[in-house]
Every structure is written in C-alpha cells, then in structure tokens.
Amino acid sequence: MQYATLEQLFTNPDKYNGRQVVVEGFYFHGFETIVLSERLEYSGYAEGHLVTKGKMLWVEGGIPKGIYDKLNQQQMMGPAERYGKVKITGKFEYGGQFGHLGAYGSQIVPSEVELLPWSPPVPQISQSAASSTAREALAVRLGVAASQIEVLSVEEVMWSNTSLGCPEPDRQYSDVIVPGFRIILEYEGRKYEYHTNEDGTIVVTCSNTQTQPDLIGKINSVQ
C-alpha cells in the first residue's frame, strides 16, 4: 500500500496503476458526478455554492453511507450535492474510460474511507467592489458622476435573509445568512445607506419614503 497525493497519481500514473493507494482529497457527489478532487472553490453561480477544481478522479461505487451522511450538503443549483474532505484507501486504476460517459481517465475503487476534519472556505469579501457598486447605484439614481459621491463608511454585516435588510411587501425571501456590507454614502451633505451582498453584485437601498429598493448590478441572484 502506498501513500500518494492526487498530484503524484496524475504525474506518474503507471507507478500506481492497479495498486492499493491511500490518497486524500475532496469528495464530491452530485448529478452524474462522484469524484475525488484537489480542492473546492465557490462557483459564483449561487451564494455559497462549491464546485470541484483541479485534478480529479472518479470514485467507483461511491463511499459508505455512514460517511456519506456526515458530509456537507448543498442544493442551490438543482439536485442535492454532498461534499467533504476524505482519506480513501483503494485500488487506483488508470488508462480507461471511467465514470459517467467514460469522461474520466482514472478512478479509485475504495476499500476504506475516513472523513477528515474540514470546514468550507470563507468567501473572499471585497469592500472596494461593494462600495464602488453602491456609489454607481447612487450616481445613476441622482444623475451625477460617481466621483462626486463620498464613501463615509463600510460595515461588514451578516444579513439574516436574501432581502439584505430591505424587504419588499408581499415578497418571499430565503432564510439564509448572506454576508455583505452596510455602506453609508454622502452627496452634497445628504447621507444615503446602501446594502450589498459580499461581492457587490446585489445592491439595495431602503428608506421610509422608498418602498421599492434600488436593485442594480444583478449578476447572480442570492435568492
């Protein structure tokens, strides 16, 4: 039995082909996908949605139910998906057409699987992107240049749902935590408050006199 990384398996597959190996990686089980990958990253398609990245191999037969049931779960892009960091002991095979539609050139057939301690990565938060988009939103609203608007403060906030703190009457919102910012802007002595998600792709403002919040720059919805 040999310990190997995914990098080693892909760099020198003939050395490990047909042998029992021990390898760590990120197990991901989704629609027509059961793989071990080098890493997981946020897709950008939906809030908190993770996808596989880097080198990956097919996991023939999946993993034991007891381990599978302890994996993280997500369901933002259709069918439910499970993922987590694991250590797999099993037979490595290379040079065939494995997995769904034979799309994988290598696979591992697990004989033993161990769930490893791991937490999903914290999304990178960009204050500058969020504040820039908020300034542009206010500039459009007022009909002035964004350079004329001053950013007074940017506060990190965990919004309690997808309304970002500005719910509209008779509208449904998902009760999920949305990282983002509360941004205070100023133009000609008047202050304006804007709320954003973490990367500034959703920007809203709400006030006592404005029941319909501004919503611009909507690249990917958090609802």
Interval 121-140: pLDDT, tens: 765 556 778 888 899 999 99
Tell me the pLDDT of the chain averaged across its residues. 87
- pLDDT of 208 strictly over 70: no
- pLDDT of 221 strictly over 50: no
Beta-carbon contacts of 143 under 8 Å, excluding residues fewer than 6 positions away, are: none
Task: Give the pLDDT band of residue 76 (cuts 50, 70, 90).
Answer: confident
Greatest CA separation for the chain? 73
- pLDDT of 62 strictly over 90: yes
- pLDDT of 187 strictly over 50: yes
Asked if 205 and 137 count as a contact pair (C-beta separation under 8 A), the reply is yes
Asked if 110 and 91 count as a contact pair (C-beta separation under 8 A), the reply is no
Asked if 95 and 22 count as a contact pair (C-beta separation under 8 A), the reply is no
| Chain position carrying tokens 């697990």 | 110
Q: How far is CA 80 from CA 38, 70, 116, 141, 205, in A?
A: 21, 14, 21, 40, 33
Most confident of 40-44, 97-101, 171-175: 97-101
Cβ neighbours around 218 below 10 Å, total = 10
pLDDT of residue 218: 32
Q: Distance (Å, rounded) from C-alpha 14 to C-alpha 35?
A: 20
pLDDT average, residue stretch 147-154? 92
- pLDDT of 11 strictly over 90: yes
pLDDT average, residue stretch 12-17? 96
Task: Give the pLDDT band of residue 200 (cuts 50, 70, 90).
Answer: confident
Asked if 105 and 98 count as a contact pair (C-beta separation under 8 A), the reply is yes
Task: Give the pLDDT band of residue 20 (cuts 50, 70, 90).
Answer: very high
- Residue ranges with strand state E in the chain: 2-3, 20-30, 33-42, 50-59, 72-74, 81-98, 104-115, 150-159, 178-187, 190-197, 203-204
The pTM is what?
0.59
Task: Give the pLDDT band of residue 179 (cuts 50, 70, 90).
Answer: confident
Task: Give the pLDDT band of residue 144 (cuts 50, 70, 90).
Answer: very high
Domains, the chain: 2-115 (2.40.50.140), 127-204 (no CATH)
Task: Give the pLDDT band of residue 142 (cuts 50, 70, 90).
Answer: very high
